[in-house]
Amino acid sequence: MDEGVEPVLRVEHLGKAFGRARVLHDLSFEVARGEVLALLGANGAGKTTTLTCILGIVPFEGTVTVGGVSVRREGKRARRQIGYVPQTPALRDGDTCHEALRFLAELKGAVAARADELLARVDLVAQRDQRIGSLSGGMRQRLALAAALLADPPVLLLDEPTTSLDAASRREFYALVRQLRGEGRTIVLSTHAVDQLDALADRALILHEGRVAFDGTVAELGARTQRRRYVVSVNGTAAAFRQALRDAGIDAAHVREDGLRWEDILTEAAAGGHEQPPEGAR
């Protein structure tokens, strides 16, 4: 973050415990205007708890401000600046898409016409009068994103929005996230689907057992792995393949470097594999 630029979201010494079980340990991070932060980590790492603390819907230790407004002291005012998409949206199955958005627009004090505008934005015009209970999982999540955008908030919190979606629905949802990123929205995206991480996020914050294991750019995260991965393609029999591996002079046309899997990189980072790889490491 550039010096002198006030962050849209600031989290300082965030802690949270449920009874004797401590879930978050002294988390501190900032998110700049227009930045997309990927909040990553295994199940139970503290991602959802972090987002609920930012929303101010559970008590917490430390300080959270949104647009300079304290979540602890002025929760309602702070939440007006946030759009939230939970993993399982709380939308009534019996409502139509249009009815749901019109109702939520009234609650949020948004212009009612935003309902039709946002249905078009998330490609649900054809489902305008369809009952929510009959929508596919991908459509429900796109409708939830439309609901989060009703009041045109500067900050979006997306909590595992594609966990239950198939590959095609994930692509559609993340295409919308990329559009919002291009508009300069500030987004915190909690996700397990890291195959598109470099296309979706500017920074990654990895949580491990409620602590920050990594906080840096996506490029920095990719550079921290100790490993390289290659794919070797050999036409012919398995014997030919084994022979090719034994030969030092394998045809370069049959070897290409394969992209590292983000899952591998995140596993290393969460486990403390933060050492820079030596020059030329393989």
- CA-to-CA separations, 22 to 13, 32, 44, 45, 204, in angstroms, rounded: 14, 28, 11, 11, 23
Instruction: Report which secondary-structure segment, H or E, holds 143.
Output: helix 137-148
Of the chain, the end-to-end C-alpha distance in Å amounts to: 32
Which residues pair with residue 156 across a beta bridge? 83, 187
Token pair of 280, please? 């030329």
- CA-to-CA separations, 218 to 13, 39, 95, 196, in angstroms, rounded: 23, 11, 40, 11
Q: Output b/e per residue, 78-87; b: 16+ Cβ within 10 A.
A: bbbbbbbbbe
| pLDDT computed for residue 244 by the predictor | 65
| pLDDT computed for residue 276 by the predictor | 45
Residue 138 contacts residue 169 (beta carbons within 8 Å): yes
Token pair of 263, please? 């899952």
Token pair of 179, please? 């559009």
Write down the pTM of the prediction: 0.79
Q: Which CATH architecture has domain 1-81+154-225?
A: 3-Layer(aba) Sandwich (3.40)
Residue 249: φ, ψ to 5°: -100, 45
Residues in contact with 6: Cβ distance below 8 Å, sequence separation at least 6, in sequence order:
68
The whole-angstrom separation of Cα 31 and Cα 143 is 26
Instruction: Report which secondary-structure segment, H or E, holds 265.
Output: helix 262-270
Q: What is the pLDDT along the chain (282 residues), one digit of tens a residue?
A: 555 567 999 999 999 999 999 999 999 999 999 999 999 998 889 999 999 999 999 999 999 999 999 999 999 999 999 999 998 888 999 999 999 999 999 998 899 899 999 999 999 999 999 999 999 999 999 999 999 999 999 999 999 998 888 888 988 999 999 999 999 899 999 987 677 788 889 999 999 999 999 999 988 988 876 555 566 665 666 667 666 666 656 555 555 556 656 666 766 777 664 444 444 443
Kindly list the domain boundaries of the chain, sorted by start residue. Answer: 1-81+154-225, 93-152, 226-259
| pLDDT computed for residue 225 by the predictor | 63
- For residue 69, give the DSSP letter: E
